[in-house]
Structure 1
Amino acid sequence: MTRWIRVLASACATALLAVMTVALGSPAVAASLVEVTSFGNNPGNMRMHVYVPDSHPTSPAIVVAMHGCGGSGPGFYQGSEFASLADRYGFIVIYPTATQSAGFGNCFDTWSDAAKQRGGGSDPDSILSMIGYVERTHQGDPDRVYATGSSSGGMMTQHMLAVHPDVFKAGASFMGVPFNCFAGASDYPPGSSRCTGGSMDRTHQQWGDAVRQAYPGYSGPRPRMQLWHGTGDTLVPYSLLRESIEQWTDVFGLSQTPTSTDTPQANWNRSRYANPSGTVQVEAYSIQGAGHALPQGGMALYAIQFFGLTTSQTDTTPPTAPAGLTASGTTATGTSLAWTASTDDTGVTGYQILRAPGATGDTFTQVGTSATTSFSDTGLTANTTYRYQVRARDAAGNVSPVSDTVQITTEGGTTGACSATPTVQSQWGNGYVIQPLTITNTSTSTINSWTVTFTLPAGHTLTGSWNATVTTSGQTATVRSVSHNGTLAPGASTTSFGFQASRPNGNTALPSGYTCA
C-alpha cells in the first residue's frame, strides 16, 4: 500500500505538470477565485472555491469542476482551462476540495454507502450545498448545472450524475470509472482495488441497473455523459472506459455500437451514441498514447461544447417585459392567459408563468412555462381569486422584468356533482401509490363523465397511472374519466383509477386539494 501511494503521488504530480505545460498555465482572467466558508450543509467537510466571471448573464450556468486525488480546488483552477472558458462564455465554476482520504490524500468519496444514497451525507451532499449556494447568491440557473473532473474528480462526475440525475444536465468525466465500481472503503485504494485492478468486467445491464437503483422510481430525463481516457493509462486502466460506455449507453437504452466515429484532433478517437432523433447522449474519447494526464489543452473546450455552453453567454441584456397580459375563458377550474411577445437581442426562448392566490399579498410562484405567448392554467379552486404575471427568458439565460398583473376569480362550480376520495395503498422513502382514488356521484342524476384535479407537493412527480387520462401543469394534475368508468348513476362509485408518484427521499407529504366535477 505504501509503495502504491508513493506511485500515485508521483503520477499525480507528473500528470498535473504535464497538463499545466500543455499551453494551460494560470488562467488569463480578470476575476478571481474566491473561497466560500459558509455554503450550507457540509457532511463531507469539504472546502469550496467559486469563480464568477466579470461578465455573465442574469442566470448563468454552473459547472462543478473536481480535482484528482491529492489535489485541491485552487490547484484544479490553476491547472485547467475552465476559468478562462468561463470568462469567454459566462458560466460560473465551482471548485470543491475533497478531504476524504481512504488511505491517501484528498479523494472524492465514491465508495461509501452514505455517498451512494440520496441524502445519505458525505461529499455528494456537500457538493449539492455548493450548487445551492451559487443558485441563491449568484442566481445560478438550476436547469443548467454540469459536472466535470479529472481522475477522482472524473469518478465523482459519473457518481453525481447517477445519484442526482435531477440536478445535472450533463457531465464530462476525465479518467473516471463507472458508478458503483468501488464496493466500499476497503475496495477504494486503486492499487489493490477490484475496480481499478485491471480486471473489472460487468455486463452493460449490470452497470445500468446500478445507476437505476441509485434513484429508484426516477423517470425524468437523464444527464448526457462525455467520457475521456488515455490508451496508455495504467493508474486507472483504459479498459474502464469500455465499462463506463456500457453503463451509460444502457442507462439511455442505446446500442453498444456507436452511431458515428471520427477523429476531431490528432490522436483523439471519438465515438458517439445517439438516440433515434439524433441527439448524442453518450460521447467517448480515446486519446492515443496518453497516460494518466487528462484533461490536456483544448479538451475543456470540447467538454463545455458538449454541455451546450459555447454559444455566446456574455450578453447580460434581459428581454423586455411581456405586455398586454389578459385572461379569458375562466371556468371553475381554469383560465387562459395571453400576452404580447417580448423582444431581445439574443432571442426569447420561453416564458415563465407566475401565480399568487388572493387579490393582495402572498408570493408569486412559477406554475408553468410556455414557448408561445399563451398558457392555460388548470386545477384551480372554484370561487377563488388568483393573480398572474409572466416573464420572458432569453438564449443567454437572462430573465425579463415581470409583466403587469392580471386578476381572475373562478366560477362557483357545480356543487355536489361528485366527490374524489384517495386511499394510500403503499408508500416508501421516495414514492407512493394512491389506489383507489374513489369517484362517487353525489348528485341526483346520472353523470356521463368526471374530471378530478389535485395538487402534487413540491418535488413530487407522477410516474404512472391507470384507467384515466392524466395531464399535469406544474404541480397540478388533471384526471379525466375514460369510456368504461365515466358513467355513474346517483350514489354509484368507481374504484378503478389509481396512480404512482415519486418524491424526494424522506418527504412524507401527499397530494391534496382533490376536487371533482
Structure 2
Amino acid sequence: MISSLVLFIILTFHSVAAVPPYGQCGGQGYAGSTQCDPGYVCVKLNDWYSQCQPGGNTPTPVPTTSTPVTTPTVTPTTTSSTPTGTAGPPAPSIPAGTLTRLTNFGTNPSNVGIFVYKPTSVKVNPGLLLALHGCGGTAQQYFSGSGFRQLADQRGFMIIYGSAANDMNCWDVTGANSLTHDGGGDSRALASAVRYALSNWGVNPDKVFVTGTSSGAMMTNVMAGVYPDLIKGGAVFAGVAMGCLSRGNAPVFPADPCAAGQVSRTAQQWGDRVRQAYPGYTGPYPKMQLWHGTSDPVLNYTNLNEEVKQWTNIHAYSQTATTTSSGVPRQNWSKSVYGSGLVEGYTGQGSGHGLPESGTEASAIDFFGL
C-alpha cells in the first residue's frame, strides 16, 4: 500500500534543468531534477514528496494560531444558510494573515480538520474558496504548496482548507454517505464548514467555490454534485468523474479501473450519477473547470473526457467544444469551452499529476470571478 501511495503522488514534469515553483523535486521513486528555479529551494515535506518552495532550505513555516477558534455550533439545514450581511470586516474572531483551525462549526461525522485563511485585505461580504489537498496531504501542506493563498491576499476572498482524516488522508469519494446530500461522511463535514461561513462570516452565497488536486479534485466533483445548493463552481486539477472510483479512496495496486482510464460511461449515465446525489433538487448546478495532463501516471488522461461528459450533460451542453484555444494559460496547455461557457476543459500536453502547475491557479480564480 505504501508503494501505491508513492505512485499516487509522483509528479511528472518536462525534462528541464530546474523545477518550477511548487513542483516536485524529490521523494521516493522520483527521478527528475532536484534543482529549483531561482529563489526557490527543494523542501522535504515527507518521505515521498519534496517540493520547490520560496526561501531558505527549511520548510516555510505555516502560521497558525496557538488556540483554535471555538464558536457556537450551527445546525446544518438542507438548503443554503442566509448570510448575516455584516457591514464591517467579516469573521472578526478569525486572525488575519494566518491559518487558523476552526472547531465547533457543525456536523463533522468523519473528523475532517477545517482551517480558515482570512487575508489582511479581506473584502466585505467576501467570496469563499474551499481548497482540498490530495492523498497523503494536509491542509497545511496545501496552504503552503499552492498559489491560492497569494491570490486571496491579492483579491480579498477567504479560504477554507480541509484536512482529510482517514484512508491515508484521501477524501471519501466512494462512500454512499459522502455521495448523498446531507448523508454524512467527508462531504457533510465540508458542507457544514461552508454553511457556518455563510451564517457567521458574511460570505457572499453567490461566490462559494471549491477546488482541489488529485483526491481533492475528485472531492471537488463530489461537492459540486452533492451540494449544488452551496457550491457555485469548481476547478478540478487531475481528478475523475463523480462516482467513477470504485475500489476505495486510497490508492491500490493494481490500479482502480477508473484511475487506469478503463471506465467509460455515457454522458447521460454520468449526469444521472450527479442527479441521484440530491433527489428532488431543481436549482442550478455549478460551473466547472476541468484540468488534466496527457502524461499523468496516476490518473489516466482519459478521465478528463469522462468528466466533460458528466458536466456537459448536467448543463445540457454538447460534448463538442464551442471554442478551443492553444497556449492557454501556458504554452503547453489548451483550453476548450463548452456550451455557453459553464464548462471548461484544459489539456496539458506532457503535463503529469503535479497540478495545479504554477500560475494556473489564477485561471481558476478568474473563472470563479473572485
Alpha-carbon distance between aligned partners in 1 of 2:119 and 2:3, rounded to the nearest angstrom: 42
Alpha-carbon distance between aligned partners in 1 of 2:192 and 2:248, rounded to the nearest angstrom: 24
User: 1:99: Cα distance to partner?
Assistant: 1.1
User: 1:217: Cα distance to partner?
Assistant: 2.3
Compared CA separation, residues 42 and 218, structure 1 to 2 (3 A): same
Alpha-carbon distance between aligned partners in 2 of 1:84 and 1:217, rounded to the nearest angstrom: 39
Alpha-carbon distance between aligned partners in 1 of 2:258 and 2:20, rounded to the nearest angstrom: 21
Which of 216, 234, 244 is the matching residue for 1:171? 234
Partner of 2:111: 45
Compared CA separation, residues 190 and 144, structure 1 to 2 (3 A): farther
Q: Deviations over 1:332-384 (max 9, x none)?
A: xxxxxxxxxxxxxxxxxxxxxxxxxxxxxxxxxxxxxxxxxxxxxxxxxxxxx
Identity over aligned pairs, percent: 40
1:36 aligns with 2:102: yes
Partner of 1:85: 151
Partner of 1:299: 360
What is the 5 A alignment of 1:401-440? none
Partner of 2:74: none
Which of 328, 335, 344 is the matching residue for 1:270? 335
- Is the radius of gyration larger for structure 1 or structure 2? 1
Partner of 1:281: 342
Compared CA separation, residues 17 and 8, structure 1 to 2 (3 A): farther
Alpha-carbon distance between aligned partners in 1 of 2:307 and 2:216, rounded to the nearest angstrom: 15
- Assess if the C-alpha contact under 8 Å between 1:234 and 1:292 holds in 2: yes
Q: Deviations over 1:267-309 (max 9, x none)?
A: 111100123xxxx110010011011100011111000100011
Q: Deviations over 1:465-499 (max 9, x none)?
A: xxxxxxxxxxxxxxxxxxxxxxxxxxxxxxxxxxx
Partner of 1:58: 124
Which of 176, 192, 195 is the matching residue for 1:113? 176
Partner of 2:92: none
SS of the aligned residue for 2:217 comes to helix
SS of the aligned residue for 1:185 comes to coil
Q: Deviations over 1:94-137 (max 9, x none)?
A: 00000120xxx100100101111111111011101111232233
User: 1:209: Cα distance to partner?
Assistant: 1.2
1:72 aligns with 2:135: no
Compared CA separation, residues 96 and 218, structure 1 to 2 (3 A): same
Alpha-carbon distance between aligned partners in 1 of 2:199 and 2:314, rounded to the nearest angstrom: 31
Which of 240, 246, 249 is the matching residue for 2:303? 240
Partner of 2:160: 94
SS of the aligned residue for 2:276 comes to helix
Alpha-carbon distance between aligned partners in 2 of 1:190 and 1:283, rounded to the nearest angstrom: 32
- Assess if the C-alpha contact under 8 Å between 1:109 and 1:115 holds in 2: yes
What is the 5 A alignment of 1:449-488? none
Alpha-carbon distance between aligned partners in 2 of 1:258 and 1:11, rounded to the nearest angstrom: 28
Alpha-carbon distance between aligned partners in 2 of 1:9 and 1:191, rounded to the nearest angstrom: 16
Alpha-carbon distance between aligned partners in 1 of 2:305 and 2:288, rounded to the nearest angstrom: 13
Q: Deviations over 1:32-72 (max 9, x none)?
A: 11111322211121111110011122211100010000000
User: 1:10: Cα distance to partner?
Assistant: 5.1
1:156 aligns with 2:219: yes
- Assess if the C-alpha contact under 8 Å between 2:5 and 2:136 holds in 1: no
Which of 18, 25, 42 is the matching residue for 2:23? 18
Alpha-carbon distance between aligned partners in 1 of 2:105 and 2:20, rounded to the nearest angstrom: 31
What is the 5 A alignment of 1:327-338? none
SS of the aligned residue for 2:23 comes to helix
- Assess if the C-alpha contact under 8 Å between 2:22 and 2:53 holds in 1: no
Q: Deviations over 1:406-464 (max 9, x none)?
A: xxxxxxxxxxxxxxxxxxxxxxxxxxxxxxxxxxxxxxxxxxxxxxxxxxxxxxxxxxx
Alpha-carbon distance between aligned partners in 2 of 1:57 and 1:190, rounded to the nearest angstrom: 46
Give 2:53's aligned amino acid.
G
Alpha-carbon distance between aligned partners in 2 of 1:165 and 1:17, rounded to the nearest angstrom: 31
- Assess if the C-alpha contact under 8 Å between 2:234 and 2:287 holds in 1: yes
Alpha-carbon distance between aligned partners in 1 of 2:147 and 2:201, rounded to the nearest angstrom: 21
Give 1:79's aligned amino acid.
G
What is the 5 A alignment of 1:107-146? 107-146=170-209
Partner of 1:494: none
User: 1:208: Cα distance to partner?
Assistant: 1.1
- Assess if the C-alpha contact under 8 Å between 1:15 and 1:294 holds in 2: no
Partner of 1:3: 3
- Assess if the C-alpha contact under 8 Å between 1:19 and 1:297 holds in 2: no
1:195 aligns with 2:296: no
User: 1:186: Cα distance to partner?
Assistant: 8.1
Compared CA separation, residues 9 and 306, structure 1 to 2 (3 A): closer
More strand, by proportion: 1
Q: How many residues align?
A: 301
Partner of 2:287: 224
Alpha-carbon distance between aligned partners in 2 of 1:128 and 1:250, rounded to the nearest angstrom: 24
Alpha-carbon distance between aligned partners in 2 of 1:188 and 1:3, rounded to the nearest angstrom: 9
SS of the aligned residue for 2:129 comes to strand
**RMSD (CA atoms):** 2.5
SS of the aligned residue for 1:286 comes to strand
Compared CA separation, residues 9 and 88, structure 1 to 2 (3 A): closer
Alpha-carbon distance between aligned partners in 1 of 2:164 and 2:253, rounded to the nearest angstrom: 17
- Assess if the C-alpha contact under 8 Å between 2:11 and 2:24 holds in 1: no
User: 1:185: Cα distance to partner?
Assistant: 2.9
Partner of 1:181: 244
What is the 5 A alignment of 1:360-375? none
Give 1:52's aligned amino acid.
K
Alpha-carbon distance between aligned partners in 2 of 1:186 and 1:33, rounded to the nearest angstrom: 27
Unaligned 5+ runs, structure 2: 13-18, 26-35, 41-51, 55-59, 64-95
Give 2:178's aligned amino acid.
A
Unaligned 5+ runs, structure 1: 310-517
SS of the aligned residue for 1:214 comes to coil
